[in-house]
Amino acid sequence: MKKRIVCVLFTLVLALLPCVTSYATEQSEIDALKGTTLYVYNWGEYISDGADDTLDVNKAFEEKYGIEVVYETYDNNEVMYSKLKGGGVSYDVVIPSDYMIERMIAEDMLQPIDFSNVPNYKYIPEKYRNLAHDPENKYSVPYTVGMVGLIYNTSMVEEAPDSWTALWDENYSDSILMFNNPRDAFAIAQSILGMDYNNESPASWRVAAELLKEQKNVSPAYVNDEVFLKMEAGEAAMAPYYAGDFLTMQENNPDLDFVYPKEGVNFFVDGACVLRGAKNKLAAELYINFLLEPEVALANAEYICYASPHTEVYANTEYSFYEDEILYPEDGKFKTQLFLNLDPEILALMSTLWDDVKNHVPSSGSGNYAFFFGGDSDSNASVDDGEAMTPEAKRYALYIGVFALLCASYVVFRYARKKYRENI
C-alpha cells in the first residue's frame, strides 16, 4: 500500500478537527457516546491502519470521540452479504459496492443516513451523487471509486494486451488468474460479447457462461486477494483486477503493467452505509463523517491506492496520485458500466451458471475458442465463397445459435406440456 503520509502530521491536524466540525446533533448527545462501541465491517486492506507511520484511522476516531471501534473484514461483497443475511452478527457500518448497496436497500438491510450528522458530505461532487444504486442518495456515502483492468507481467507477456481475450490465450496456459466471484468474471465475458452487465436475458447469461467455460482450456487459477502474492512474485502472466490494487502490486514488482481493455470495463463505487440493525446509529454517522475529513480521506486514498470521490483529495497537488492517468483517466476514454442489482431469478441463474463454470472440465482438444475469437483450428475453414468467417461473425453466430436452440427447446417444452395436460 502507499504509505507516504507521516502519522505525526496527521495527529497534529486531527487534534484541530473538533474545532472545525459542526453537527446538527447536540454536543451532549455526542459526548454521551463515550465508552460505547461501534462495529465496522469493511473490505480487507481498505483503510489506513497505522502501518509504516501512516494514520491509524480507527485509533484516531477512538481518540476523538471516546468510542471503541471493533473492526472486521471480508473478501468480497457476496461473503459480506451471506454473513449478514445469515444472522448472528451485528454491525453498525458496512462498506459494500454499488450493486450490493442497491440489493441491500431492496431487502431493507440498510437504514437512511441522517445527513445532518454528515456535514462533510459537502466534499462529494455531483458526479458521485444520486447514482443508480442509490438514486435518492439516502443510504450511502461514496468511499472509493475505481475501475477493473488487466494486469500483466511484461517479462512474461510477449505483446502488451489490449483486449480481455488475452485471458483466453493458450500461449499463457497455467499462467492466467481469474476473478473468483461471479459478477466480475461474468462482466469480463459480457464485455467480450458486447453485452450489458445488467441484462435480464437468461440466454445471454448462458452464452457468457459458455465463454467462461472455454477459458478452462487455459487452466486459469481463480483468486481473490491471492492475486497480490501471485502477481508480485511473478507466478502468473496476467490477471484482471482493480486499478488501485495494481499500483500496490507494481510497487513490489516493477515488471507489472496495466491496461483498460478496449471492450470496456466495470466502473464501481463503494459506499459507507448504516445497517438496519445498527445499535449505535449516531456513532455510525459520526464515523462516516470522520472518513470524509479531508486529512482522513487523503490518508485512506494514499494507503488504499484507489481513486477518491473526495474533492479535496484529488485537487490536492501533494497527493501521490494527483492527476494519475490510471486512477483518474480522462472521462469517456473508454466504455464503462456500473453493476446494478439483478432480479432474483437472474441472480439465482448466475449462481448456478458460475457453479457450472467452476466445475467444468474441458474435454481433450475442445475448441470453441475459435468460434469466439478466431484461431488456427479447423473451424476457420472457408465458408461459401472461400472467405473465412471473421471472429466477430463467429462470436455472434454462436450467440444466435445458442439463443435459437434455447428458444426452440422452450417451444418444445411448452408444446409437450400442453399435450400432456390435454391427455390428463
**Predicted local confidence at residue 20, as pLDDT:** 47
- The number of distinct structural domains making up the chain is 3
Give a yes or no: residue 358 inside a domain.
no
Lowest mean per-residue pLDDT among 142-146, 181-185, 268-272, 330-334: 330-334
Give a yes or no: residue 350 inside a domain.
no
- 229 and 283 share one domain: no
Collapsing DSSP to helix, strand or coil, 70 comes out as strand
- 132 and 15 share one domain: yes
Separation of alpha carbons 260 and 328, rounded Å: 12
Lowest mean per-residue pLDDT among 219-223, 348-352, 410-414, 417-421: 410-414
**Predicted local confidence at residue 88, as pLDDT:** 86
Per-residue confidence band for 409, with pLDDT thresholds at 50, 70 and 90: low
Lowest mean per-residue pLDDT among 231-240, 325-334, 346-355: 325-334
Given 233, 266, 299, the domain boundary residue is: 266
- 135 and 277 share one domain: yes
Give a yes or no: residue 349 inside a domain.
no
**Predicted local confidence at residue 364, as pLDDT:** 65
Separation of alpha carbons 270 and 94, rounded Å: 10
**Predicted local confidence at residue 150, as pLDDT:** 98
Per the document, the length of the chain is 424
**Predicted local confidence at residue 309, as pLDDT:** 98
- 91 and 203 share one domain: no
- Residue range 82-111, pLDDT digits in tens: 999 998 899 999 999 999 999 999 999 999
Cβ distance 48 to 57 under 8 Å? yes
Given 241, 266, 291, the domain boundary residue is: 266
- 275 and 140 share one domain: yes
- 173 and 135 share one domain: no
Separation of alpha carbons 7 and 262, rounded Å: 40
Helices 294-304, 281-291: axis angle to 10 degrees equals 70
Give a yes or no: residue 351 inside a domain.
no
Strand partners, 64: none
Q: How many CB atoms lie within 10 A of CB 29?
A: 11
**Predicted local confidence at residue 373, as pLDDT:** 61
More confident residue, 42 or 381: 42
- 258 and 293 share one domain: no
**Predicted local confidence at residue 195, as pLDDT:** 98
Give a yes or no: residue 1 inside a domain.
no
Q: Report percent pLDDT > 70 for the chain.
A: 80
Is pLDDT at 369 greater than 60 in this prediction?
no
**Predicted local confidence at residue 22, as pLDDT:** 61
**Predicted local confidence at residue 371, as pLDDT:** 56
Give a yes or no: residue 162 inside a domain.
yes
Is pLDDT at 261 greater than 50 in this prediction?
yes
Give a yes or no: residue 54 inside a domain.
yes
- Residue range 109-138, pLDDT digits in tens: 999 999 999 999 999 999 999 999 999 999
- 92 and 23 share one domain: yes
Positive/negative CA dihedral, 95, 96, 101, 104: negative
**Predicted local confidence at residue 386, as pLDDT:** 36
Lowest mean per-residue pLDDT among 53-62, 102-111, 393-402: 393-402
Is pLDDT at 274 greater than 90 in this prediction?
yes
Give a yes or no: residue 346 inside a domain.
no
Cβ distance 218 to 173 under 8 Å? yes
DSSP letters spanning 254-321 = TTEEEE--TT-EEEEEEEEEEETT-S-HHHHHHHHHHHTSHHHHHHHHHHH-SB---HHHHT-TTSTT
**Predicted local confidence at residue 396, as pLDDT:** 47
- Nearest-CA neighbor of 291 among 133, 64, 8, 134? 64
Q: What is the mean pLDDT of residues 173-194?
A: 97
Given 337, 352, 379, the domain boundary residue is: 337
**Domain at 276, CATH number:** 3.40.190.10
**Predicted local confidence at residue 331, as pLDDT:** 87
Cβ distance 292 to 175 under 8 Å? no
Q: What is the mean pLDDT of residues 275-293?
A: 97
- 134 and 151 share one domain: no
- 162 and 47 share one domain: no
- 320 and 374 share one domain: no
Per-residue confidence band for 225, with pLDDT thresholds at 50, 70 and 90: confident
**Predicted local confidence at residue 363, as pLDDT:** 81
Is pLDDT at 293 greater than 70 in this prediction?
yes
- 99 and 11 share one domain: yes
Domain residues for the domain of 380 are 367-423
Is pLDDT at 416 greater than 60 in this prediction?
no
